Amino acid sequence: MPSSAEPDSILSELSKQLGLDLLGYDQRLLQPRIARVLKQTHCKTIAELTKWLSGNPARPAEVADLLLVASTEMFRDTQEWGILKSRIFPSLVAQNRFLRVWSAGCSHGAEAFSLAMMLDYSFEGAHQILATDIHSGSLKRAKDGWLIDSVAAKIPDEYRRNYLRREKERWSVSPLIRSTVTFCKLDVLSPFRQSEFDLVACRNVAIYFSADVQRDVYRRLALALRPGGVLFLGRTEIISDPIELNLEHVEGNFYRRITTQASRDGTRLAS
Ligand SMILES: C[S@@+](CC[C@H](N)C(=O)[O-])C[C@H]1O[C@@H](n2cnc3c(N)ncnc32)[C@H](O)[C@@H]1O
């Protein structure tokens, strides 16, 4: 693979141009995508690619598109969303009538809209959802509030009837649902100030990071939760030793933030 021979300094230079910290990503997953970019741009090395990128201000966004995996679905992993609805949300709502939720790495918004629909349809009380991603193109699509047929197909009937309207070839998400979600750009690899969330969903995002970086991201996401708040990860994302991050495993892909005292004592809170 042409790119693997390049020193980190060149990868750092490329990171600067793209606005992505490429050194934080799992190189085994990243390198094949970089190799594809090199092929498409007819560059032989990353050094050549960095020169090519500076030739046109639109190019960095195009290359970032090819490197970031934007695939997403409404209610992705049905079983986990079942747990969220039947056990996680009821316990969070019982503790707090106003839920603060964060979808970190929200792609085109499907995850944030799924959270908003479930909360509005099944739970009393108010909520506010922050949805963030590093990729500006995905965020623009999310803010437009349109879903294509293949994405809308995954939505349970009761939500489709209440929250989607057919317009031309697409589905538009209702103003009610859109009004509860705020989209903005945020890189989870950079320091962030978000805190006191009841639920943080960061699904199928950290899977692309190297193991050390993954752990650091989980640690900082855990700190963004209020004690008792819950972290919702992707199906293949597992935290070993959650107690070190002030988390306890609840079930499935859900981890709860425990109090600092309980963590120091090594004790677990009741589920
Ligand atoms: C595979 S999608 C997952 C989308 C959604 N969470 C889901 O599970 O359906 C991964 C998303 O993570 C975003 N992403 C990648 N690196 C990121 C970073 N450093 N900070 C924030 N978002 C990032 C990508 O732009 C992409 O939208």
Model confidence over 53-101: pLDDT tens digits? 999 999 999 999 999 999 999 999 999 999 999 999 999 999 998 999 9
How high is the pLDDT of residue 262? Answer: 54
The residue-averaged pLDDT of 182-207 equals 96
Over pLDDT 90: what percentage of the chain? 84
Q: Residues 49-58: pLDDT tens digits?
A: 999 999 999 9
In whole angstroms, give the CA distance from residue 86 to residue 49: 49
Mean pLDDT of 238-266: 86
pLDDT at 240 over 60: yes
Which two structure tokens, joined as six digits, stand for 43?
């560059």
CATH numbers and ranges of domains, the chain: 2-67 (no CATH), 78-265 (3.40.50.150)
Q: Is 71 in the pocket of ligand 1 (CB under 6 A)?
A: yes
Closest alpha carbon to 27 in 194, 212, 163: 212
Q: pLDDT category, 243, cuts 50, 70, 90?
A: very high
Tokens, residue 81: 């969303």
Bridge pairing between strands 164-167 and 126-133:
unpaired
Q: How many other C-beta atoms can be found within 10 angstroms of the C-beta atom of residue 64?
A: 18
pTM over 0.75: yes
- Identify the band that residue 153 occupies on the pLDDT scale cut at 50, 70 and 90: confident
For β-strands 164-167 and 170-173, DSSP reports them as antiparallel
Is the pLDDT reported for residue 147 higher than 70?
yes
Place of tokens 């709502």: 93
pLDDT at residue 271, rounded to an integer:
34
Indicate if ligand 1 lies below 6 Å from the C-beta of 134: yes
Return the residue matching tokens 């070993």. Answer: 240
Rounded-to-integer distance, Cα 165 and Cα 65, Å: 29
What is the token pair recorded at 33? Answer: 């995508």
Tell me which H or E stretch contains 262: helix 260-265
Q: Judge if the beta carbon of residue 107 lies within 6 A of ligand 1.
A: yes
Whether ligand 1 lies within 6 angstroms of the CB of 72 is answered as yes
φ, ψ for residue 233 (rounded to 5)?
-105, 175
C-alpha to C-alpha distance for 134 and 190, rounded to whole angstroms: 10
For ligand 1, whether the C-beta of 93 sits within 6 Å is no
Contacts of residue 269, Cβ cutoff 8 Å, sequence gap at least 6: 248, 256, 258, 259, 262
Element (H, E) at 175: helix 175-179
pLDDT at 270: 34
Q: 149: part of which helix (H) or strand (E)?
A: helix 149-152
Pocket test for ligand 1, best of 65, 133, 186, 192 (most atoms within 8 A of CB): 133
Distance 109 CA to ligand 1 centre (A): 10
pLDDT higher than threshold 70 for residue 18: yes
Amino acid identity of 138? S
